[in-house]
Structure 1
């Protein structure tokens, strides 16, 4: 693991561009089974990393990016998530509780009346990223081209993804177009849990119940409209207690702060 760079001097977050999404969805409905025993008493999104719940890390980044409204879905111990968010005002929170798990695609589809029709950020609540030279959400917004893209995924180099042990997800050509890896292949990039996507795609020829966002991405790939952007900072997948411990150890060894005071 390469050393973590020191925290730069404080700087103002640039105002979002006109094309930057103003709404977002945070995916927080998982059961967190691999995170046991930590999830026996609380839902996974409320597990703290460096003193702050993972859900708040995601929402704080969205607020910094100029997002004014965020939808948060929930299922397991959803009442705790609702109580935690009750006093949050920025971004404005709308809850999308799920009586039964709808997976990633079904969760977004259920929330469509709250999301509207314009492109949105969708962020997983079990990841943590540190920005590179410029904020990752702003970089996504600047690269987003609705005329050419249906979805733009933030990607992390598979070999540098902390807490991730899979084979990767995608190959990316020089123009940013994505191709899913073959069954026995190893791909250079893993989906980093952050994307800009057109929400209307989740209503087009999709089941009414549970389904994966992979259905949306595969369709976009077939149409030549699935793109990616490589993350230029650090990225952590916090899926197990060991991954949480590794993340906090790496962060505590550096001068980088991920806690907003």
Structure 2
């Protein structure tokens, strides 16, 4: 029996799994990065399990690089329902989500990077994100990790966050106090008049910031920035010493 938490949050989600993972070479030469394992489980499966826990019913996964491996890996999975979009050419994060919009519904939906690796704090992370979402004031809600609690190769952070949660992207030479960790809720209206073809979600984040509709919530647990082979080795070492997703951060 699968334990499922109650939530009023999104019922659909997008998992981004189309990238090449070039910084993870040579490990990704013959394996998509989301299928690399931490603690004996593929990172992609960890995210799917957490989405299932909070009641997400349908997940769209985009695949391009070694996409057949992604499809074969997910074929046996029954919950949540997984639908794969095969991209003939890479559409980047923004183009990938835009292509999935007809399948994601009219309300806010989760977007999770296929290599996101986090450990819940005192409360379930996705429940916290869902509870913080305000449809009236937000187009984007990003899960942010305080820079001081980052495991992995991160130096400057991504955003400054005000007391009310509004985010401001750091300037080129600035150091920001928070890193975006690849977990978010987006609303479909964010994609109105968006670019055609391949583009980054950062384009839309900047647009939302300019409109005052880009917000963040601070993660109260652990996050592993798994970018390079040494990061993956470090994460596996940490998990082997007991930093499993069920272990709270204090």
Structure-1-length-normalised TM-score: 0.90
Do the aligned partners of 1:168 and 1:186 also contact (CA within 8 Å) in 2? yes
Alpha-carbon distance in structure 2 between the residues aligned to 1:166 and 1:75 = 29
Which runs of 5 or more residues in structure 2 are unaligned? none
Q: Among residues 191, 195, 217, which one is paired with 1:207 in the alignment?
A: 195
Match of 1:150 in 2: 139
Aligned residue number for residue 7 of structure 2: 16
Q: 1:164 deviation in Å?
A: 3.2
1:227 to 205, 215, 220: 215
Q: Which of the numbers 185, 206, 210 marks the counterpart of 1:218?
A: 206
- Return closer, same or farther for 1:161/1:39 CA change in 2, 3 Å cut-off: same
Name the SS for the 1:38 alignment partner.
Answer: coil
TM-score w.r.t. the length of structure 2 is 0.94
Aligned length: 244
Aligned residue runs from structure 1 range 101-120, under 5 A: 101-120=90-109
Unaligned 5+ segments in structure 1 are 1-11
Q: Which residue is 1:253 aligned to?
A: 241
SS at match of 1:249: helix
- 1:244 aligns with one of 225, 232, 236: 232
Q: Does 1:180 find its partner at 2:169?
A: yes
Q: Counterpart of 1:111 in 2: which secondary structure? A: helix
Is the CA contact 1:50–1:258 (under 8 Å) kept in the aligned structure 2?
Answer: no
- Match in the other structure for 2:150: 161
1:159 Cα shift? 2.4
- For residues 72-124 of structure 1, the C-alpha deviation after alignment (integer angstroms, 9 at most, x for no partner) is 00111100100111111111001111111111101101111111221100000
| Alignment match, 2:126 | 137
How far has the Cα of 1:245 moved from its partner? 0.5
How many angstroms apart in 2 are the aligned matches of 1:180 and 1:246? 28
Q: CA RMSD in A?
A: 1.3
State whether residues 157 and 177 of structure 2, in contact with CA within 8 Å, keep that contact through their aligned partners in structure 1.
Answer: yes
Runs of 4+ aligned structure 1 residues displaced above 2 Å come to 256-259
Q: CA deviation at 1:185?
A: 0.3
